[in-house]
Amino acid sequence: MAKKINKKILVSLDQSEPSMEAVRYVAGVPAFRNYQVYLLHIFRGVSPEYYDMGSHAGYETKVSDVKLWELQERRKAEKFMADAVGILTRVGFLASNVETLIQNREKGIAEDVLRKAMKGFEAVAVGRKSMSTLRNIVMGSVAAKLVERLTEIPIFLVGKAVNTKRFLIAFDGSDNSMRIVDYLGSALGRESKVILLHVIRGSDKEHLKAAENFITPLLGQARTKLVEYGMPSENISVNLIKGVSSRSGTIVSEAGVHHCGTILVGRRGLSKVQEFFMGSVSNKVVQLARNMTVGIIN
């Protein structure tokens, strides 16, 4: 008898290559094989009001053409979803644990994804797509709106689905960064390799020493937590970097040096989108790590 799976992850798809990268990312993280995967496509069909025009003289042909276009687009969406399922099943996901949902747009794409995500999902994965500049992320990409609104659910902004077993935690010693450690240990499994990284800015020797004395025992506690979750100690590295000018730049650089495909950051209790987009380290990491996946953990 198959083991019942209770954890669920939602993957938002839009027939784009970046959204398919989100599927590849989920396929590449071993722990997600213990999740029920829901592939959601919000279909941009034609409003029912438009079809009502078919009853008016002269509009019958136009409405018929639009119906044909909509049917073709839905078939494209179905093909895209089937390809996404294939990516998952080829690496060992059971077909019974993968569900596809093609849903007509109701309130708007981001709003519809959000409403679905709030129905018992443990995480959401979405392609980064147009998130190359601060202006783009603020001005309305679906991913940006999800970052703004999904304040209770981890969201993975997927770049390239590479090195999916190597994670870097941007650790600042706060309760929130400890929650990131808990999330990695409990949700992402024992097969991962992780770097716990703390970055101290500045050049004042007394400040650097005080900051090091503060963070060192907390890094030790975080490492112990991961071991207690069952992660082999040899899979955990602790890095402390001092005297740099940019924390976010150093975080992204270290992730690249150590071939980490995912950077995990926190919101620091953010409740307002302005607090996230107006200069936090987490936001800057999102902007700089364009070819990596950034997981924002609450």
Q: How is 99-132 classified by DSSP, letter by letter?
A: EEEEEE-SS-HHHHHHHHHTTT-SEEEEE-TTTT
Helix axes 281-288, 247-257, angle to 10 degrees: 40
pLDDT of residue 50: 47
Are 124 and 150 in contact, with CB atoms under 8 Å apart? Answer: yes
Q: What structural domains and CATH numbers belong to the chain?
A: 8-158 (3.40.50.620), 166-297 (3.40.50.620)
Are 193 and 165 in contact, with CB atoms under 8 Å apart? Answer: yes
Residue partners of 40: CB distance under 8 A and separation at least 6: 10, 11, 12, 13, 101, 103, 113, 116
pLDDT averaged over consecutive 10-residue blocks of the chain (298 residues)? 75 93 96 96 68 49 70 92 98 96 90 94 86 42 84 91 90 93 90 95 92 96 97 96 95 96 80 50 88 92
**Averaged pLDDT of the chain:** 86
DSSP 174: S
pLDDT of residue 274: 46
Residue partners of 282: CB distance under 8 A and separation at least 6: 170, 265, 266, 267, 268, 276, 296
CA distance 21 to 127: 7
276: helix, coil or strand?
helix
The 10s digit of each residue's pLDDT in 56-105 is 545 555 666 777 878 888 999 999 999 999 999 999 999 999 999 999 98
Residues in a beta bridge with 200: 242
pLDDT of residue 298: 83
Other CB atoms within a 10 A radius of the CB of residue 184 amount to: 25
C-alpha distances in angstroms, 179 versus 39, 156, 159, 171?
27, 16, 23, 10
pLDDT of residue 60: 53
pLDDT of residue 136: 45
pLDDT of residue 139: 33
